[in-house]
Chain A
């Protein structure tokens, strides 16, 4: 009798959330998969089924390949910069956690993450400006020639990576700090007695024990790296007077195909590819980082 009542309560309670989920998440995901097999130009009422034609075209699409390449480089670039730096910075902040500066450090590190994307990107756009930006002024002190940061095909990608890392670091550092706080102190004391130095215990103790956190941070960072859009949009916006080189990323290509070329089915197939990539990478990360640290 009681359990029946409980079951009803559980089902009723979860129903609204489930309904919303189905409506705004599951249905659109299924719809994307469905659309990728059709041809639709937003305006017409006809949506003919074309099977895998979109995917076939996608494979040979030069712009898609460029988008894929850029996005992959950016995502991994951000990952490679963020994880080690975040771990080190978090370790340092944790070391000084009892000092009154700890709060300041945490705030300073996290602020880039919470400021609106666009103002932040504007700030960096000015910093990178070839003629007016302080970066070139700073490099000039070392005798380095002013670079066209936002126009060079390679450097413009670097700019996006720098901007994204700057924003991603804060979140990663905070999570790692929490991680450090929950590590067993006794292990470290034991290591110290055995003669281990600070950096040594960091390398051999902290890093392995932080594996679950590293897994979480790396999945989140990599996935959001693949979804980069706002940063590329702002840094290379096509304002006539001060354009930058448009770094073509996947989401940008998708939206362009959808709303500029009026090819929603084609854009959906791109979305499906993006999804597949994200799923595969997540799986890989889980296998790599879960193996040993499963039960800590």
Chain B
């Protein structure tokens, strides 16, 4: 009897030890991840704190994380002297339209390439795939002269020219369509007499919602953070996107780090907030593609 009891006690103790060990490991991992997360965010924290520093404090050594003498001057002068809001508007418009274009083209192309088995489509898909590997910067220059000859430099259309389609987007939707939309469903609809367009609109698109959500987030941030292309397409101050405007902020004769940080911080806030809101969407969307192949 006592042996059985002591066995049970031993097992319970063993269990407790294991649970304790598990919890300790968990705590350790939490600590590591916490430190890591803080390190990741730290540069941005610095940026925001610099935005509130007076010029004198910017030169202080060692540098402080929390400004001793916070000021809103940097923000005021940045908003007053540079078309910051205009730049943000430019970026928003560009990113928004680009997202729409990419979603539209990827959805329809992905669907067709995924569900319609024709040889011509295979050729087309191969073409898309082949060009997917080519970095944008490689063909950026001839595309630029296209924009120039069309007279759309310094406009949102000019910016959009490089960001209308995303090979990865087509690929993503195609994967999704193959994995999550059973052929039988479509056939059933067809037998019921539904038109192809109706099928696409009413059946396929709703099923693609997750993937489209993820793609939308990707496309938006790709356009929002685009640099090289907007850099060459925009030459007037009003048409800069926020990236270009900030980068060229500092090619005057002197650099004012405080104002620069204020401008950067002002842009940072919408990006981060937007992402925090969309994060779950994004992760789910990626997961739903079954990124196996």
Contacts and interface: CB of A to CB of B under 8 A. Distances in A.
Direct contact of A and B (CB under 8 A): yes
Interface of A: 2, 5-7, 9-11, 13-14, 16-18, 20-21, 24-29, 31-32, 35, 89, 92-93, 95-96, 99, 101, 103-120, 122-124, 126-127, 131-134, 137, 140, 166, 169-170, 174-175, 177-179, 181-182, 198, 212-213, 216, 223-224, 226-227, 229-230, 233-234, 237-242, 251, 254-255, 258-259, 264, 267-268, 271-272, 274-275, 278-279, 282, 296
Contacts of A9: 196-197
A123 B141 contact: no
Contact of A28 (B146, B261, B293): B146
A40 to B, nearest CB: 10
Interface string B143-169: 100100000000000000110110100
A20 B267 contact: no
Given A106-B283, A175-B286, A24 B40 contact: no
Interface stretch (B7-15, B68-76, B271-279): B271-279
B interface, how many residues as a size bin? 35 or more
Interface string B24-47: 011001101110111011011011
B104 to A, nearest CB: 8
Chain B interface mostly: helix
Chain A interface mostly: helix
A92 B121 contact: no
A119 B50 CA distance: 12
14 contacts: A17-B109, A24-B146, A29-B138, A89-B33, A115-B272, A116-B268, A116-B271, A118-B243, A198-B25, A212-B292, A227-B137, A237-B251, A278-B138, A282-B133
B4 interface: no
Interface of B: 25-26, 29-30, 32-34, 36-38, 40-41, 43-44, 46-47, 50, 58-59, 61-63, 65, 105, 108-109, 111-113, 116, 118, 120-121, 124, 127-128, 131, 133-143, 146, 161-162, 164-165, 167, 170, 190, 196-197, 200, 221, 224-225, 227-228, 232, 242-243, 246-247, 250-255, 257, 260-261, 263-265, 267-268, 271-272, 274-276, 279-280, 282-283, 286-287, 290-293
Contacts of B242: 116, 118
Contacts of A21: 127-128, 131, 165
A223 B132 CA distance: 11
B135 A123 contact: no
B141 A271 contact: yes
A120 B43 contact: yes
